[in-house]
Chain A
C-alpha cells in the first residue's frame, strides 16, 4: 500500500495543527458556529444527536493492520468502544468530544491517517473496488490511480467550496464493484486497442433525493490526462452548479439541466486550455505510486482447492462460510475472505475494539498485514492462503466476524439512522434488527440466496436504498417514522434505481411485508434466479400485491401503529 514520504507526513501533521487552532478559536468564542461549521466538516466532524461524530478517511478502503490497531485504540480511548464502517469505506465514531479531536487526529497522523475532506462541499474520499489488485477480472489496478487522485484532491485550493459534495469512484475490473455509475464522477479503467491504459468517464450519477445514473462523457481518456480532465470537469461544476438550494446543487442536477452532451462539451472546451499543462501525469509519478501497490510475496501453490478443503472438514457451518465469505483470487491457492460485520443483532458495519484488534491480528498472520473495507460495510482479508482458511474461520468465529451471510439478505447495507444521525427522518437500526430476527434461520437465508437489502434513514441515502433489490427508506409523516419500500434496484454494471411500490409502512409492518414479498419470490422464481432478476422479469405487481395483502394480523399491526 501507499506509504507517506516526508512531504505527505508534513502535510497531514500541518493539518492537525491547523485544525487544533481552529478548534481552540471556536471553543474560546473567536469563531462563530457558522464560521466553524465548514471548517470542521472538511475535517469530517459533524455535530450529531448525542455528540460530535468524526468520520475518519480510509482512502479507497485500504488499511494496514497497524492502522486498524490505531483505529481500535482511538475508538477505545475517545469513543465508547464501537466504530461504524460506512458505504464510503470510512470509519465513523459517534461519541466524540470536540476538544479531544486534535489529539485523536495527531495519533492518526502518526499512522498516516486523517479525516481530511470526509465531509463538506469538497472532493470526498475516493472509493474503489474492495478486490482491487486481486480480482481475476481486473483490467488494471485502480489503487495507484485512486492515490494519485487523493493527492490531487487533498486541499485542492480551487475546489474547497463547491456547490455541494463531490464523490469520485474508480473501478479497474470488468465487473463494477465500486458503484461508479452512482457517483458524481465515475472512472472505469480500460485498455484501448493498442493496449494503453485510460478511463471511461461517467458523471452526474448519484443517489439522494434525485437518484440518477451517471452519463458517459468519454469512452477513452488517456491516463496522462486524468488530472487535467478532472480539473476541467470540477471547474465547470464549481462555476455553473446551482448553489441556492442544497437539494439541487449536486453535479447531477447540472448535467440533467443542460444535458450530458452539452455538459461534456463544456468540459472538453475547458479542458483544451489546460490539457498537456504541468498537471499532466508523468510515467515516473505513476510508476512511483504503482510500485507501492506491487503484489506481496505470494507463495507458490499448485492449484485452487476450495472444494477439497470443504470436503476435508465436512462441516456444514464451515462449508457455508466458504460458500458465502470466501472469494476467488487471481493467484492460485489464495482467497479473499470477508469478515462479516453483519452478525445477527449487531448494527450493520459496527465493530468493537476487540473485533478490530482480532481482525488486525488475522491480517498480520494470514494476509500480509493488510485489510480492505468493502462499501457493503464489511472487512476483507485480501490474500489468505487457502490452506489457512479453516484456521481463519475458527478465529473469525471466535471474534464474532464469521457470520456466513455475505451477499444474502442479512448482509444489509444500513446507515446509522435516527439513533445517531441528526439528518435522519427515521431510525434504521431497529428495522435492520427486526429483519435480522425474522430471517434468523440460515437455511432459509441460503434458500433465498443473493439479495441486496439496503436501508437509509433519510433521503440522503447513505444506506444506498435506491440500489437495493429491496430498498427501505425512512420518511417522516407528521412527526412519525414511516418506511417506503423500493424494489428492483441494482449496483454494478447494470446499475438501476429501484421503484417505489406504494404507500409507506409503519416500522412494525416491515418484517411481515418483507417476508410476504420473499414468499412470493420463492413461489415464482426460476431455478437459481436471484430476487432482483425475478423482480425484473415479473415486474412490481406480484410483489406489490404481496406487500399490501390484507391479512388480519397485518391489518391490526398497521392500525395500531397508525393510531399511536
Chain B
C-alpha cells in the first residue's frame, strides 16, 4: 500500500492502530471497549468512559491518541489534551466543517502542541485550510494521490486572516 499519511509535509507510514465504536454505541459500550496495547487511536467517548485507567496508562506509556467525531465538544477533554500522543479529528463528509473550529480551539485555547491529524473524507482541496487551522498531519484516503495532494499546501502565497499557522493577520504584516 502506498503511503497516505502526510505529516510535516512528508509522506510517512501510519503506525497507529485504530479502535472504533459503532455509530450507535452507548456509554456502556464505550466503557466496555477493550483497549489493546498501543499505540492506539481510540474514540474520545472511550477515553471519557475509561478515563481514570487510561490517564494512568497515558502517563506511563504515552501511547494513547483520541479521535474526535464532528459532534464532539472539545471542551470535554480540555483538561486532558496534554496527555494524548496524537489527536485525530474526523471528517466523515468534507463539507462538514466543524472540525476546523475544533482544531483552532485545541491549538489556540487549549495549547495542544502534539500531532493533530485530519482523517476521513478530506483531500488536496481541503489541505490548505486544514493546515491553517492547526493540523500538521493528514490521512489521505486510499483512492487519492497523496503525493499530488501535498502540492496544494502551497496554493496561496499569502493569507489575510490570522489563524494557527500565522497568528498575525495580514494587516499587521503589510509593509507600507
Q: Residues of A at under 8 Å CB distance from B?
A: 5, 7, 10-11, 14-15, 17-18, 22, 35, 38-39, 121, 151-152, 154-162, 227, 235, 238-239, 243, 273-274, 277-279, 281-282, 284-285, 288
A22 to B124 alpha-carbon distance, docked (Å): 10
- Residues in A with CB closer than 8 Å to B171 are 151, 281-282, 284-285, 288
- The answer to whether A151 touches B160, judged by C-beta atoms less than 8 angstroms apart, is yes
Q: Count how many pairs of residues, one from A and one from B, have CB atoms less than 8 Å apart in the complex.
A: 103
- The answer to whether A158 touches B172, judged by C-beta atoms less than 8 angstroms apart, is no
- The answer to whether A158 touches B100, judged by C-beta atoms less than 8 angstroms apart, is yes
A243 to B163 alpha-carbon distance, docked (Å): 24
Given known A-B contacts A18-B155, A39-B125, A278 and B96 have beta carbons under 8 A apart: no
- The answer to whether B104 touches A10, judged by C-beta atoms less than 8 angstroms apart, is no
Interface string of B134-176 (1 = CB under 8 A from A): 0000000000000000001001111111110001111110100
Closest 6 CB pairs of A and B: A161-B97, A157-B132, A285-B171, A157-B129, A151-B160, A158-B100
- Residues in B with CB closer than 8 Å to A273 are 109
A35 to B121 alpha-carbon distance, docked (Å): 10
- Residues in A with CB closer than 8 Å to B43 are none
A259 to B169 alpha-carbon distance, docked (Å): 33
Q: Is B98 an interface residue (CB 8 A)?
A: yes
A11 to B161 alpha-carbon distance, docked (Å): 13
Please report whether the interface of chain B is mostly helix, strand, loop or mixed according to DSSP: loop
How near does chain A come to B84, taking the closest CB pair, in angstroms?
21
Name 13 extra pairs, CB < 8 A, besides A151-B171, A160-B129, A273-B109. A10-B157, A11-B160, A18-B155, A39-B125, A121-B95, A155-B160, A157-B161, A161-B94, A161-B97, A277-B167, A279-B161, A281-B171, A282-B172
Given known A-B contacts A5-B174, A278-B168, A159 and B97 have beta carbons under 8 A apart: yes
Q: Which of B42-76 contact A (CB under 8 A)?
A: none
A11 to B97 alpha-carbon distance, docked (Å): 23
- The answer to whether A154 touches B101, judged by C-beta atoms less than 8 angstroms apart, is no
How near does chain B come to A476, taking the closest CB pair, in angstroms?
27
A445 to B130 alpha-carbon distance, docked (Å): 55
Q: Residues of B at under 8 Å CB distance from A?
A: 94-98, 100-102, 104, 108-109, 123, 125, 128-130, 132-133, 152, 155-163, 167-172, 174
- The answer to whether A7 touches B170, judged by C-beta atoms less than 8 angstroms apart, is yes
Given known A-B contacts A157-B129, A158-B163, A160-B100, A10 and B158 have beta carbons under 8 A apart: yes
- The answer to whether B95 touches A7, judged by C-beta atoms less than 8 angstroms apart, is no
In the complex formed, the residue of B with least CB distance to A10 is B157
- Residues in A with CB closer than 8 Å to B97 are 121, 158-162, 238
- Residues in A with CB closer than 8 Å to B157 are 10-11, 14
In the complex formed, the residue of B with least CB distance to A238 is B101
- Residues in A with CB closer than 8 Å to B125 are 22, 35, 39
Cβ-defined partner of B104 (8 Å) among A14, A15, A158, A162: A158
A154 to B161 alpha-carbon distance, docked (Å): 8
- Residues in B with CB closer than 8 Å to A238 are 97-98, 100-101
- Residues in B with CB closer than 8 Å to A284 are 171
- The answer to whether A278 touches B169, judged by C-beta atoms less than 8 angstroms apart, is yes
In the complex formed, the residue of B with least CB distance to A38 is B95
- The answer to whether A7 touches B158, judged by C-beta atoms less than 8 angstroms apart, is yes
- The answer to whether A278 touches B172, judged by C-beta atoms less than 8 angstroms apart, is yes
A152 to B95 alpha-carbon distance, docked (Å): 21
- The answer to whether B133 touches A157, judged by C-beta atoms less than 8 angstroms apart, is yes
In the complex formed, the residue of B with least CB distance to A284 is B171
Cβ-defined partner of A161 (8 Å) among B95, B102, B132, B172: B95
- Residues in B with CB closer than 8 Å to A38 are 94-95
- Residues in B with CB closer than 8 Å to A278 are 162, 167-169, 172
A15 to B100 alpha-carbon distance, docked (Å): 21
A239 to B130 alpha-carbon distance, docked (Å): 16
Cβ-defined partner of B169 (8 Å) among A11, A152, A158: A152
A7 to B96 alpha-carbon distance, docked (Å): 30
- The answer to whether A155 touches B156, judged by C-beta atoms less than 8 angstroms apart, is yes
A121 to B129 alpha-carbon distance, docked (Å): 15
- Residues in B with CB closer than 8 Å to A227 are 161, 169
Q: What are 15 A-to-B residue pairs whose CB atoms are below 8 Å? A: A11-B157, A14-B155, A18-B155, A121-B95, A151-B160, A157-B128, A157-B129, A157-B163, A158-B101, A160-B97, A161-B95, A235-B104, A239-B101, A285-B172, A288-B171
Interface centre among B123, B129, B152 (most CB of A within 10 A): B129
In the complex formed, the residue of B with least CB distance to A286 is B171
- Residues in B with CB closer than 8 Å to A243 are 96, 98
- The answer to whether B100 touches A157, judged by C-beta atoms less than 8 angstroms apart, is yes
- Residues in B with CB closer than 8 Å to A15 are 156
- Residues in A with CB closer than 8 Å to B158 are 7, 10-11
In the complex formed, the residue of A with least CB distance to B154 is A14
- Residues in A with CB closer than 8 Å to B94 are 38, 161
How near does chain A come to B161, taking the closest CB pair, in angstroms?
6
In the complex formed, the residue of B with least CB distance to A36 is B125
Given known A-B contacts A160-B100, A238-B97, A152 and B160 have beta carbons under 8 A apart: yes
A336 to B152 alpha-carbon distance, docked (Å): 46
A159 to B99 alpha-carbon distance, docked (Å): 10
How near does chain A come to B144, taking the closest CB pair, in angstroms?
9
- Residues in A with CB closer than 8 Å to B172 are 278, 282, 285
How near does chain B come to A33, taking the closest CB pair, in angstroms?
14
Interface centre among B104, B123, B162, B167 (most CB of A within 10 A): B162
- Residues in A with CB closer than 8 Å to B169 are 152, 227, 278-279
In the complex formed, the residue of A with least CB distance to B169 is A279
A157 to B174 alpha-carbon distance, docked (Å): 20
- Residues in B with CB closer than 8 Å to A285 are 171-172, 174
How near does chain B come to A488, taking the closest CB pair, in angstroms?
37
In the complex formed, the residue of B with least CB distance to A243 is B96
- Residues in A with CB closer than 8 Å to B133 are 157-158
